[in-house]
Structure 1
């Protein structure tokens, strides 16, 4: 009778531990998915702002068609991978950031454009979006780090393996020059 009670107590403790580890893994995955949703919202806002920026610059910089088409192409590439995995989205958005940096550098050559109220407003909005995107990226990467710790650390890694939880990808930029705001962005 005593042995049966001890075995039952051990099984209950193991069952509760299993439930706690499983719930922590589910909570971590849900937080990371929510954080990714925040990044998606910021990227959508960024993609929506680009056509207006191109339109304003196009009116002044008629000889810069290659830069304008590069920005439009990078935006389209970003929109195609939206909702994809972190690596594919990161690569597409890196291309858009570089293209926007070139666009803003071109704008420096047109004093009338730099003084245009619409351009200044769009440039300010883009800077705010870049800051919001950076904060969303940090939050997402923090939730992914916590989830990856759960997936890799003992004993929750055993539960993660049983239920198919895998490491998640960070949303990273590949170089320091890409992590900085593109040249031409005003400092907020």
Structure 2
């Protein structure tokens, strides 16, 4: 091997090493990484909604014993829970803004029904003092906080993902390698949600 060939092979090796280094540092993996983070955050949102749905039957049964004639409110909670749990969602829901919106609306209706149930419970001092009710109410409040945090984390994950595919160099990698991954929708406030729920007795 002459000096020229030796120099050429070293130059090729150096070029390959430099290209490999550039490719690993240029963000080529950012898009799938951020997409998976958004899906994981969505999974956590679903997990917290499921936790809330699991608490509701016990809460309704506890209230029923004290406020049996509040049948309309109890029925509204049961129906809202049934509707919220009937909408089947998975990671593919993130690619379907309409299904995401339906899911969010069903969860919002359940939140409203639970708010009305909590207001009704204020009318029953014995119920308010019941240990089961207090424990369930505390768990439900904790779950609502977890839902809020999970939704915030999901919104941030979607923001990072969408920003990556809309800015350079992510936009380039998206168009070349990841064009099948769409821009993600996130939660939006339901129209009128800035007003407190109306409770009529």
Equivalenced residues, count: 178
What is the CA–CA distance in structure 2 between the aligned matches of 1:179 and 1:13, rounded to whole Å?
56
Match of 1:186 in 2: none
Match of 1:93 in 2: 107
Match of 1:83 in 2: 89
Q: Which has the larger radius of gyration?
A: 2
TM-score, scaled relative to structure 1: 0.82
Q: Residues 71, 178 of structure 1: CA spacing in aligned structure 2 closer, same or farther, 3 A cutoff?
A: farther
Q: Residues 107, 34 of structure 1: CA spacing in aligned structure 2 closer, same or farther, 3 A cutoff?
A: same
Match of 2:118 in 1: 104
> What whole-Å deviation, never above 9, does each CA across 1:39-94 have from its counterpart, x for those lacking one?
11111110000000000011111111111111111111111124253322211110
Match of 2:163 in 1: 149
Pick aligned residue for 2:182 from 158, 163, 166? 166
Match of 1:115 in 2: 129
The answer to whether the 8 Å contact 1:94/1:178 transfers is: no
Residue 49 in 1 paired to residue 55 in 2? Answer: yes
| Residue 153 (structure 1) shift | 1.1
Residue 139 in 1 paired to residue 157 in 2? Answer: no
What is the CA–CA distance in structure 1 between the aligned matches of 2:26 and 2:85, rounded to whole Å?
38
| More deviation, 150-159/14-23 | 14-23
The answer to whether the 8 Å contact 1:25/1:147 transfers is: yes
Q: Residues 167, 31 of structure 1: CA spacing in aligned structure 2 closer, same or farther, 3 A cutoff?
A: same
| Residue 174 (structure 1) shift | 2.1
Aligned to 1:158, what secondary structure does the other structure show?
helix
Aligned to 1:173, what secondary structure does the other structure show?
coil
| Residue 34 (structure 1) shift | 0.8
Gaps of 5+ in 2: 1-10, 94-99
What is the CA–CA distance in structure 2 between the aligned matches of 1:82 and 1:18, rounded to whole Å?
38
What is the CA–CA distance in structure 1 between the aligned matches of 2:195 and 2:23, rounded to whole Å?
41
Match of 1:60 in 2: 66
TM-score, scaled relative to structure 2: 0.77
The answer to whether the 8 Å contact 1:94/1:173 transfers is: no
- Aligned-CA RMSD value: 3.0
